[in-house]
Amino acid sequence: MATESERLEVSDGHDTVVLTNARNSWLVELRVEGDDDVRRQRLLEAATQAVMLNEGGRLEFWIENATPASDWVPIAAGFIHYRDLWRLERPLPAPDTDLATRAFTPADTDAFLEVNNRAFDWHPEQGGLTPEEFSEKCAEPWFDPDGFRLLEIEDRLAGFCWTKVHTDEKQPIGEIYAIAVDPDFHGSGLGRELVLDGLGWLARQGLRHSMLYVESDNRYANLLYDKLGFQRTSINRAFQRIVR
């Protein structure tokens, strides 16, 4: 979690911009009264000035349910679009799999981190996961070790499917939160089976709908999800700006 020294807040008495330093990037959150894009643009510009006075850095601004019209605000404030995160959904149940997985235990932490960081060495959030960051995730109210499915082959962790149940939705929905196959086992078809195993676990909890987030340029993953019946329902779009 960010400390007080890693958090900046700028307010004009009505609108507020909050900046939180996470993994050497300032995440920008806007709190604007009403629906005023000009004020949002000015808040982003104020965020840039605040970071500049704080020795500079990289700013990252996310738009949920992005549309072409919503791009105007960050672009006008000097930000550049660099990433799209797609939300995909499909109904449950899914086809069965005979893959044999087991629940996560604390004794699996080191093996999980090794596989996770090898598989996600390219990913800005999931990659480079530290024991401290993982411990924070495990302390979240939604964490359920039974829904954190591990696949072992010859006493070695070959992959995992980490699920999450969103009970705060109008209709509870299950998420494939993170899924990976150790690079040594790539090409063996385990990714598809791990997805189905995770979906099967979610269905057994009584859930009737599932979702996941995937990078728009992850071609292999998107081909797999398309074949499994997932459909894109929204886009979360990220913009960045480097200030010195």
Q: In the chain, how many domains are there?
A: 2
213 part of a folded domain: no
- When mean pLDDT is compared across 23-32, 74-83, 106-115, 228-237, the lowest value belongs to 23-32
- Residue 10 has a pLDDT of 85
pLDDT at 140 over 80: yes
179 part of a folded domain: yes
- 72-77's contacts with Cβ under 8 Å and 24+ in sequence apart are 72/37, 73/37, 73/40, 73/41, 73/44, 74/44, 74/239, 75/239, 76/41, 77/41, 77/44, 77/45, 77/48, 77/241
Residues 97 and 79 in one domain: no
218 part of a folded domain: no
223 part of a folded domain: no
Residues 29 and 113 in one domain: no
- Parent domain of 165: 93-207
Percent over 90 (pLDDT), the chain? 87
Residues 103 and 66 in one domain: no
pTM summary value: 0.92
For the stretch 10-31, pLDDT in tens is 887 789 999 999 888 999 999 9
- Residue 13 has a pLDDT of 77
Residues 125 and 24 in one domain: no
CATH number of the domain bearing residue 65: 3.40.630.30
